[in-house]
Amino acid sequence: MTTNYSLVSEAQCETGESPVWVAEESALYWLDIPVGKIYRWHASSDVLSQWQLPEMVGSMAMCTHGGWIVAMETGIYHVQLNPHGACTHTKLADVEHPIQPMRFNDGRCDRQGRFLSGTMFNDTKAGKNVGSLYQFGNGHQLTRLMDDLIVPNGLAFSPDGRTMYLADTYTSRQTVWAFDYDVDTGTPHKQRVFVDMQQHLGRPDGAAIDADGCYWVCATDAGLVSRFTPEGKLDQSLAVPTAKPAMCAFGGDNLDTLFVTSLRRAGISAEEDPYAGRVFALQPGVKGLAEPMFKNTPTA
């Protein structure tokens, strides 16, 4: 299977994650988890900027009153990015991990502007079910919503915000779940299997929702980004030129480009997988939704 794609900038990440399109800047932001970097690619000028953070970073979202909400190893931070490469970071909430070393992973905001992110044991192959899903709101309260996660991924919300999707990438699970989501309290309930990825190619990693309410999920190990209807039926798959796509997000002037980050595999040379860690731009033939922003106060 082949898909037309273009490469986004020359950046090559260890683990590219959390792409966010900022329409006002015509720019794509994303993270490199283990090296703690934030990247920004300006679409028209092709200029790449980067900022160094003090910890590994898992996910991020723009704030309504400036800056970014960022989930790192030790908690939730507010980060301000200076145009010249400097940045400031202020911790908003500590997280109490049950064991070490752990960090935050995949995350995003719900449609109401709350930030959600999952935690995991750093060694993904260890299979430790010590991860949790957390929610962080404007009251700066970090609330644990659920436990028993190994590698939490695929967090996404339906267009009306009333369905939450969450995946676990670990080999013994390979499942995407759907939940009813209380938009007033930000509480997921009525967990059920949305997609059993054991029945499809690849394991579920990061995801995005399109304007039709379909769920696009990076199928890691298979080099695919697969689209599932709201009923959980496989609709189509797009290929990327590397085995491990990590997360996807819609962007571009018309929100009709699907940006896909990826990661490098340990023990695999650049000659064997030359595009590992790159960011790709695909044309999926559908439009996406603008990424929700974190509703913070002007002084956060």
Q: Which strands, in side-by-side order, build the sheet including 87-94?
A: 57-62, 68-72, 75-81, 87-94
Ramachandran quadrant class, 296 (left: phi over 0; alpha: psi -120 to 50; beta: rest):
beta
Task: Give, for all 300 residues of the chain, the pLDDT tens digit.
Answer: 557 899 999 999 999 999 999 999 999 999 999 999 999 999 999 999 999 999 999 999 999 999 999 999 999 999 999 988 899 999 999 999 999 999 999 999 999 999 999 999 999 999 999 999 999 997 889 999 999 999 999 999 999 999 999 999 999 999 999 999 999 999 999 999 999 999 999 999 999 999 999 999 999 999 999 999 999 999 999 999 999 999 999 999 999 999 999 999 877 888 889 999 999 999 999 999 999 999 986 654
Q: What is the pTM of this model?
A: 0.96
Q: Where are the domains of the chain?
A: 5-282
Q: Which strands, in side-by-side order, build the sheet including 131-136?
A: 102-109, 115-121, 131-136, 142-149
Average pLDDT, the chain: 95
User: Could you say which of 32, 106, 168, 205 is catalytic?
Assistant: 205
CA distance 203 to 201: 7
Contact 38, 58 (CB under 8 A): no
Question: Is 110 considered catalytic here?
Answer: no
Instruction: Of 9, 70, 67, 17, give the one whose Cα is nearest residue 41.
Output: 9
pLDDT digits (tens, 9 = 90+) for 81-100: 998 889 999 999 999 999 99
Can you name the CATH fold of 5-282? Neuraminidase (2.120.10)
Partner residues linked to 252 by β-bridges:
none
Q: Which residues contact 152 (CB under 8 A, 6 or more apart)?
A: 105, 106, 118, 119, 120, 131, 133, 166, 167, 168
